[in-house]
Amino acid sequence: MSSDKNREDAAWPVRLKSETNEAATVLKEYAQSTSRTRQEEGAYGRVTARLEGRRPRVARAVALASMAAGAALLFWFSMSGREVAPPSTPAAAVALAPPPASPHVPVLNLDARPVALPTGKLHLPGEVIVTVAESSSATARLVEATLEVALADGTVELQVRPRATGQAVLATAEGFRFTVVGTAFTLSHRTGRVDLTVSEGLVSVSREADHLATVLAGEAWSANLANEPSHRAPSRLARRTPKEDCTRFAPNQTQERLACYREKVHKGGAEAERAQNAMARYLRDDVVDLTAALDAFESQRSRYPRGDLKPDADRAIIGLLPRLGRHAEALVETQSFLDTQPDAEDRAEIRLLRGDIYRAIFRDLQSAEKEYDEGAEGDGRTGDDSRFLRALCLEALGRLDDARAAYQDYLAQAGSVHAREAQRRMERLAR
């Protein structure tokens, strides 16, 4: 009996073995019926906070409630057979302590009009934090549920919490789009170069309708603009622009140019569909009014369901819906596209897009894995990203043997972009 008593005393925290005050006594008495309490150092702090100094009635009530809640949790965990991790701070202290002080970060309210971002750290709508470096030029705006940050020059760092369904964050620089759901990354744009560094999460890089890369945490992506063909129309300054050409208007004559397109559409004929398509592209690429652009492409498809430019409208709508945070509609639209055009050259890119929506927006890993598997047949970066992301989904789903095999197949292909991360994950699964 004496040896059992010695072992029991040895189990007490050091402070309880040395303290003889009322708090220690109460805790020891309570512990006779709760074997886990002796190991739970935070309990001593809660009882001390309750009894020390005979605090006013309100303080005692708060501490007593905290102690009761702690006892209830201990009882629940003991009944469920789960281990209780000892808290690093007494519960009463947590309940009564003020929140930690943090430097003031300005909050910037946005609407559909672009607003210049000042240098420094800012809170943007949707719990997004942006840090704009010195001598940088960037704007932000909120279009429906999509937050857009446009970087003209310099460097911005974004911290994006996971998005809810129907929300999106989009960064742009020199025609490139960087779509995120929840991540942290740095984007730099200097003369002739765009650089992306991802520290958390995942960023999808695209340009016009083309998927270029999926960049994961610890990876970087860059584009040397001097080595890329220009994506803009060739200059028309060398010749006189015809009077009927709607591109003759200056950049600030937006309404005049739109009126020109509408007039051509109204006249009908062979040029009407082209005018409608040109107006939609203008709204998307130059005016950057995504909602109006989507309406214009949908109007084109409705007016000319068998027109030569219908596939272009289909792809444009598929690209715009996720940018506007309308992910459920994007899944419907992409499925319709795949059903009607099963042999489309960009079907692997569309499968990758669908996989990203299922995984990042709807947290449906089973559907995402199937889409990535379909996209794995793609060439270049599209196929590479699809194969790696499929392995990630298999691992997250607990299909570990399938995940190991998927990582091995991925690493067996030369030039795999995510080889380092795939190797690390495969080694961890082998332990």
Question: Residues 108-137: what's their mean pLDDT?
Answer: 87
What pLDDT is recorded for position 18?
A: 54
pLDDT in tens, 285-330: 888 889 999 999 999 999 999 999 999 999 999 999 998 989 999 9
Q: Give 179's pLDDT tier (boundaries 50, 70, 90).
A: confident
58 pLDDT higher than 50: no
How is the chain split into domains, by residue range? Answer: 2-96, 115-227, 252-429
252-429, CATH topology level: 1.25.40
232 pLDDT higher than 90: no
Question: Residues 340-365: what's their mean pLDDT?
Answer: 93
DSSP string, 168-179: EEEEEETTEEEE
Question: Among the listed ranges 137-151, 197-211, 242-256, which one has the minimum average pLDDT value?
Answer: 197-211
Q: What is the mean pLDDT of the chain?
A: 77
DSSP string, 77-126: HHHHT---PPPSS-HHHHHHSPPPP-----B----SS-EEPPSEEEEETT
Instruction: Please tell me which residue, 32 or 85, carries the higher pLDDT value.
Output: 32
pTM of the model: 0.61
What pLDDT is recorded for position 173?
A: 86
DSSP string, 119-170: SEEEEETTTEEEEEPTT-EEEEEEETTEEEEEEEEEEEEEEEPPPPTT-EEE
Of the candidates 416, 355, 413, 411, the one whose C-alpha atom is nearest the C-alpha of residue 426 is 411
Of the candidates 389, 393, 363, 358, the one whose C-alpha atom is nearest the C-alpha of residue 375 is 389
73 pLDDT higher than 90: no
Instruction: Please tell me which residue, 335 or 323, carries the higher pLDDT value.
Output: 335
132 pLDDT higher than 80: yes
What residues have CB less than 8 Å from 21, skipping those under 6 apart? 51
User: Position of tokens 């709204």?
Assistant: 283
What pLDDT is recorded for position 111?
A: 81
Instruction: Please tell me which residue, 235 or 50, carries the higher pLDDT value.
Output: 50
What pLDDT is recorded for position 19?
A: 55
Q: Give 166's pLDDT tier (boundaries 50, 70, 90).
A: low
237 pLDDT higher than 60: no
Q: CA 175 to CA 293: how far, in whole Å?
A: 16
Question: Residues 425-430: what's their mean pLDDT?
Answer: 91
* Chain-centroid distance, C-alpha 265: 39
* The architecture CATH gives domain 115-227: Sandwich (2.60)
Where helices occur in 209-289 by DSSP H, the ranges are: 254-267, 272-282
Question: Residues 336-351: what's their mean pLDDT?
Answer: 93
Instruction: Please tell me which residue, 173 or 98, carries the higher pLDDT value.
Output: 173
Instruction: Please tell me which residue, 236 or 120, carries the higher pLDDT value.
Output: 120
Question: Residues 32-45: what's their mean pLDDT?
Answer: 46
Question: Among the listed ranges 161-165, 268-272, 285-289, 301-305, which one has the minimum average pLDDT value?
Answer: 161-165
Phi, psi torsion values for 211, nearest 5 degrees = -80, 130
Question: What letter would DSSP give residue 340?
Answer: H
Question: Residues 178-189: what's their mean pLDDT?
Answer: 82
Of the candidates 371, 273, 369, 284, the one whose C-alpha atom is nearest the C-alpha of residue 330 is 371
Question: Residues 388-412: what's their mean pLDDT?
Answer: 96
What pLDDT is recorded for position 204?
A: 83
Question: Residues 197-209: what's their mean pLDDT?
Answer: 81
Q: CA 429 to CA 228: how far, in whole Å?
A: 40
252-429 and 115-227 share a CATH fold: no
399 pLDDT higher than 90: yes
Q: Give 181's pLDDT tier (boundaries 50, 70, 90).
A: low
